[in-house]
């Protein structure tokens, strides 16, 4: 009976105008933020103003429609900063004067702000003729039976959105299904691999939350790669090749590169990559079968090009592409040289991306020796958002130490020193001290940093990261909830909520 037209496809905070779709006989619409009424409107078009706070955080919006007598007609809920699809769609049921369902009304939004290139609507599994994608008439049907309407919209660039609605039968009015993924960490002594193992584990408002499923075998790892780390990663890639430590299934020659697709390119598109025979079905470098790894370049779309926080995100790399050390160091970003990188914003977006996969997860910020930062908020804000999403943040600093340098790199260092004024030169014995100062400066505000000064340290860290993710479980619970509102029931040992 009601749905949101305003859909949140990017990092969102501050005052917002929220538009909803509520067909007649709606006479009043109320907007609630995290359960508290913040606005109301008494006439269409239903546009309400809401302040989402001074910094991005997971929020829950709820729109409720009432008739002229004050009776509730329906409600819709929308999570903010909990998922970041490239497109979303909403659907409401439209009834005639006799209360019979006669059509569905669709609303959508995409990052390209474009009309869908294709709209497919199914009624009980059968396709309907779509002449007006915003209003699709329903066929004759048994009002006393359960019916399901599904709509799938395709946008330029491959983005897709889906909306589902059920009505009739035991449901009566239209409903939609929702669930929430809650991430926890277990110790070695706690078996938590099925919903039966997790029965009674979670609560909200003092009430038990039924667990629908447990995800534990596949992980999502999202790496935000700061630009000044590029040369270091390139050097570490050559070290990996020389050491033979990594044996990727899909391998690239040293002259080839993985490339990030430009914004709007479907994630499924993949550069042509030569294939080599794998030495094992499991990667030796930090990715297991079913894992997904994403790379994010923290350079946002040009100002004014889009209202959303868009950062180039790679396709999903898997164990077939090699270990995470290999993918991270072999990757070459398509950087167009735009000034200013937004590390805190990119980390926040990466956290939402990691959480929306509803898998065990982690975000890794890879810092180089000379990071610049142009985000509108400090690292502490991004860290708080990830904690509320229950996504672990790991920060790496990558810069090779003197002992890890190859002969040609030491020669280049000495040559570079000779080109500097005498008072600016650094002796070899001072090199690691200068490196430590750069590390501490780069890490300011990000908390503890894991120092990677060699290829051996890198391979150890990727293995450590995957081992830490191995202890995670993601519990799917019924209903749409804020992760921070979910608590552990008393009496459970060996389990803790992720922060």
Check residues 490 and 259 and name the one with the higher pLDDT.
490
Cα–Cα nearest to 370, from 259, 233, 222, 230: 230
Where is the domain boundary, 144, 178, 212?
A: 178
pLDDT value at 327 more than 80: yes
Could you tell me where the beta strands, DSSP code E, fall in 52-138? Answer: 59-66, 72-80, 87-95, 101-110, 118-123, 126-127, 135-137
- Give pLDDT, residue 279: 33
Residues 171 and 226 reside in one and the same domain: no
Is residue 13 assigned to a domain? yes
380 confidence band (pLDDT: 50, 70, 90):
very high
Residues 349 and 453 reside in one and the same domain: yes
- Give pLDDT, residue 4: 87
Q: Which of 137-146, 289-298, 329-338 has the lowest mean pLDDT?
A: 329-338
pLDDT value at 262 more than 50: no
What strands, in cross-sheet order, belong to the sheet with 361-367? 292-296, 220-225, 361-367, 393-398, 450-452
Q: Which of 7-16, 280-289, 432-441 has the lowest mean pLDDT?
A: 280-289
* Domain enclosing residue 135, as ranges: 3-178
Q: Which tokens in the block code for residue 343?
A: 């590390």
Note the pLDDT tens digit of each residue in 57-68. Answer: 999 999 999 999
Residues 158 and 267 reside in one and the same domain: no
Is residue 401 assigned to a domain? yes
Please say whether the beta carbons of 24 and 96 come within 8 A: no
Measured distance CA(461)–CA(392) in Å, rounded: 15
Note the pLDDT tens digit of each residue in 355-367. Answer: 887 889 999 999 9
- Give pLDDT, residue 55: 94
CATH code assigned at 129 = 2.60.40.10
Backbone angles phi, psi at 438, to 5 degrees: -65, -40
Cα–Cα nearest to 358, from 292, 296, 405: 292
pLDDT value at 148 more than 90: no
Q: Which of 7-11, 94-98, 475-479, 495-499 has the lowest mean pLDDT?
A: 7-11
Residues 280 and 392 reside in one and the same domain: yes
pLDDT value at 245 more than 80: no
Strand 220-225 with 361-367, pairing: parallel
Is residue 444 assigned to a domain? yes
- Give pLDDT, residue 384: 96
- Give pLDDT, residue 286: 86
Handedness of CA 84, 85, 87, 92 (dihedral sign): negative
Residues 126 and 245 reside in one and the same domain: no
Residues 138 and 264 reside in one and the same domain: no
Measured distance CA(486)–CA(496) in Å, rounded: 12
pTM check: above 0.85: no
Residues 159 and 246 reside in one and the same domain: no
User: Please, is 145 exposed, middle or buried when counting C-beta atoms within 10 Å of its C-beta (0-12, 13-18, 19+)?
Assistant: exposed
- Give pLDDT, residue 250: 52
113 confidence band (pLDDT: 50, 70, 90):
low
pLDDT value at 338 more than 80: no
Is residue 203 assigned to a domain? no
Q: Which residues contact 394 (CB under 8 A, 6 or more apart)?
A: 362, 363, 364, 365, 450, 465
pLDDT value at 151 more than 80: yes
Check residues 189 and 102 and name the one with the higher pLDDT.
102
pLDDT value at 371 more than 50: yes
Q: Which residues contact 295 (CB under 8 A, 6 or more apart)?
A: 222, 223, 225, 260, 313, 314, 317, 327, 328, 331, 333
Note the pLDDT tens digit of each residue in 470-495. Answer: 999 988 887 788 888 999 999 888 89
Neighbours of 138 (CB within 10 A): 18
Residues 23 and 163 reside in one and the same domain: yes
Most confident of 120-124, 213-217, 420-424: 120-124
Where is the domain boundary, 150, 178, 206?
A: 178
Is residue 492 assigned to a domain? no
Partner residues linked to 213 by β-bridges? 476
Most confident of 148-162, 165-179, 189-203, 299-313: 189-203
- Give pLDDT, residue 409: 85
Residues 240 and 170 reside in one and the same domain: no
Overall number of domains in the chain? 2
What average pLDDT does the structure give for the chain? 82
Residues 231 and 93 reside in one and the same domain: no
Note the pLDDT tens digit of each residue in 394-436. Answer: 999 999 988 888 888 888 877 877 777 877 777 777 888 888 9
304 confidence band (pLDDT: 50, 70, 90):
very low
CATH code assigned at 468 = 3.40.50
- Kindly state the average pLDDT of the residues 13-32: 92
- Kindly state the average pLDDT of the residues 374-380: 93
């Amino acid at each position: 009976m009601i749905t949101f037209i305003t859909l949140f496809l990017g990092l969102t905070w501050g005052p917002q105008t929220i538009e909803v779709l509520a067909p007649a006989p709606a006479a009043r619409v109320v907007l609630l933020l995290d359960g508290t009424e913040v606005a109301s409107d008494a006439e269409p078009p239903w546009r309400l103003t809401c302040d989402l706070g001074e910094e991005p955080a997971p929020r829950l919006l709820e729109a409720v429609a009432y008739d002229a007598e004050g009776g509730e007609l329906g409600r819709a809920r929308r999570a903010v900063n909990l998922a970041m699809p490239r497109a979303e769609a909403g659907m409401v049921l439209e009834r005639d004067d006799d209360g019979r369902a006669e059509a569905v009304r669709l609303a959508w939004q995409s990052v390209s702000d474009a009309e869908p290139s294709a709209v497919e609507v199914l009624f009980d599994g059968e396709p309907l003729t779509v002449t007006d994608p915003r209003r699709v008439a329903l066929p004759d049907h048994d009002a006393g039976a359960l019916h399901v309407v599904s709509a799938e919209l395709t946008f330029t660039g491959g983005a897709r959105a889906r909306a589902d609605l059920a009505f009739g039968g035991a449901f009566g009015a239209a409903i939609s299904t929702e669930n929430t993924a809650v991430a926890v960490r277990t110790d070695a002594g706690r078996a938590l691999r099925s919903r039966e193992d997790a029965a009674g584990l979670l609560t909200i408002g003092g009430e038990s939350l039924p667990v629908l499923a447990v995800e534990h075998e596949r992980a999502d790892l999202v790496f935000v790669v700061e630009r000044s780390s590029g040369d270091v990663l390139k050097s570490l890639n050559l070290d990996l090749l020389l050491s033979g430590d990594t044996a990727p299934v899909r391998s690239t020659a040293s002259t080839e590169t993985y490339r990030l697709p430009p914004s709007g390119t479907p994630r499924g598109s993949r550069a042509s990559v030569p294939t080599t025979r794998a030495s094992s079905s499991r990667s030796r470098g930090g990715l297991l079968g079913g894992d997904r790894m994403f790379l994010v370049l923290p350079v946002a779309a040009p100002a004014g090009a889009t209202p959303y926080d868009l950062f180039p995100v790679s396709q999903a790399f898997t164990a077939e592409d090699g270990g995470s050390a290999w993918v991270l160091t072999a990757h070459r970003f398509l950087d167009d040289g735009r000034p200013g990188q937004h590390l805190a914003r990119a980390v926040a977006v990466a956290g939402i991306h990691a959480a929306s996969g509803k898998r065990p997860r982690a975000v890794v910020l890879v810092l180089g020796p000379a990071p610049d930062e142009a985000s509108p908020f400090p690292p502490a804000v991004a860290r708080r958002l990830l904690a509320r999403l229950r996504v672990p943040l790991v920060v790496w600093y990558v810069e090779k130490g003197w002992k890890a340098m190859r002969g040609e790199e030491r020669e280049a260092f000495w040559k570079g020193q000779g080109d500097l004024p005498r008072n600016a030169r650094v002796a070899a014995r001072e090199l690691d001290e200068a490196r430590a100062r750069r590390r501490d400066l780069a890490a300011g505000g990000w908390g503890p940093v894991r120092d990677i000064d060699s290829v051996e340290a890198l391979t150890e860290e990727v293995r450590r990261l995957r081992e830490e993710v191995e202890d995670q479980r993601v519990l799917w619970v019924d209903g749409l909830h804020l992760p921070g509102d979910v608590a552990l029931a008393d009496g459970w040992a060996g389990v803790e909520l992720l922060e």
